[in-house]
Amino acid sequence: MTWYRAVHPFHTAGRLARFTLGAAADVTDTAIRRLTAAVVDRMDLDELVSRVDVNRVAERVDVDRIAARLNLDAVLDRIDLAVVAKDVLEEIDLGRIVRDTGGGMAGETVHGLRARSMRADRMVDRIADRLLRRPDTEQGDEPDSDQGSVVVSVSGPGPSREPTL
């Protein structure tokens, strides 16, 4: 810096103004912070928030943007899935559902097995009739048909079937 600039009144006044403005800005910032804190401390924030229209604020929220920033893996890591699954199973009463459906399924299975065994018996009868060269007889498909039961007698040259009443 030259001697002229150091003692020249305009340069000195400029430096003094810049220093004063800088110091004043620091003092002003500190004063504003303290005043704002004092005002907020005296305010009833619950009353202030009760005046806010939450629906209007919610309309301005960009849910897609929030979801894009959300780390789902971190959220799922916080969840105890075993506890959630246990609570769900208790809520829907899975044991009762299994008992109810299992009983119906067991009845249907038994009915199906009985029907298959009746068909198998008829098939074995037909095979035995063919092997023993018995004449074809018309039997009802269902054991509950109106036809009488068939009795096989051993008298005579071949077996004969006579319906009984």
Counted domains in the chain: 2
Are residues 88 and 48 both part of a single domain? no
The reply to whether 146 falls in a domain is no
The reply to whether 101 falls in a domain is yes
Of residues 132 and 151, the one with the higher pLDDT is: 132
The reply to whether 52 falls in a domain is yes
> How many CB atoms sit inside 10 A of residue 118's CB?
13
Q: Is the pTM of this model over 0.95?
A: no
Each residue of 59-70: pLDDT tens digit?
999 989 988 888
Each residue of 36-61: pLDDT tens digit?
999 888 888 888 888 889 999 999 99
Helix 81-92 and helix 94-131, axial crossing angle in degrees, nearest 10? 70
- DSSP annotation of 70 reads -
Residue-number span of the structural domain to which 37 is assigned: 8-61
